[in-house]
Amino acid sequence: MPHGFDEFAVIDWSGAAVARPPGLALAHAQAGVAAPRLVAFPGGWSRGALLDWLAAQAAAGRRMLIGLDLSAGFPFLDAAAYFPGWNGSPPDGPALWAAVEAHCANEPHLGANAFLAHAEIRRHFRHQGDCGDLFPAGRGRLRVCEGGQAAQGLNPYSCFNLVGAAQVGKSSLTGMRVLHRLRGTLPVWPFDPVPDKGPLIVEIYTALAARTANPARRGTKIRDGAALDMALAAFASRAHSPLDRYTDHATDALLTTAWLRHVAHDAQFWSPAGLSRAIAETEGWTFGVN
Contact criterion met (CB below 8 Å) for 251 and 228: yes
Report the C-alpha gap between 263 and 149 in whole angstroms. 17
What mean pLDDT comes out for the span 144-167? 93
pLDDT at site 262: 98
- What digits encode the pLDDT tens for the residues 226-277? 999 999 999 999 999 999 999 999 999 999 999 999 999 999 999 999 999 9
Exposure pattern of 183-197 as b/e (b: 16+ CB <10 Å)?
beebbbbbbbeeeee
- Please tell me the predicted confidence (pLDDT) of residue 2: 61
**pLDDT tier at 164 (50, 70, 90 boundaries)?**
confident
Domain ranges of the chain: 1-290
Closest to 34 (Cα-Cα) out of 11, 63, 67, 8 = 8
Give the Cα separation of 250 and 214 in Å (integer).
18
Q: Give mean pLDDT, residues 161-173.
A: 91
Rounded to whole angstroms, how far apart are CA atoms 142 and 123? 16
- Residue 37: CB atoms within 10 Å: 16
The model's pLDDT over 51-99, given as tens digits with 9 standing for 90+, comes to 999 999 999 999 999 999 999 999 999 999 999 999 999 999 999 999 9
pLDDT score of 1 more than 80 = no
User: How many residues can be counted in the chain?
Assistant: 290
Q: What is the rounded CA–CA span in Å between residue 276 and residue 4?
A: 24
CA distances from 222 to 34, 67, 283, 286 (A): 19, 19, 30, 21
At 107-144, the pLDDT tens digits run 999 999 999 999 999 999 999 999 999 999 888 999 99
pTM exceeds 0.95 for this model: yes
Average pLDDT, the chain: 96
Q: What is the pLDDT of residue 219?
A: 74
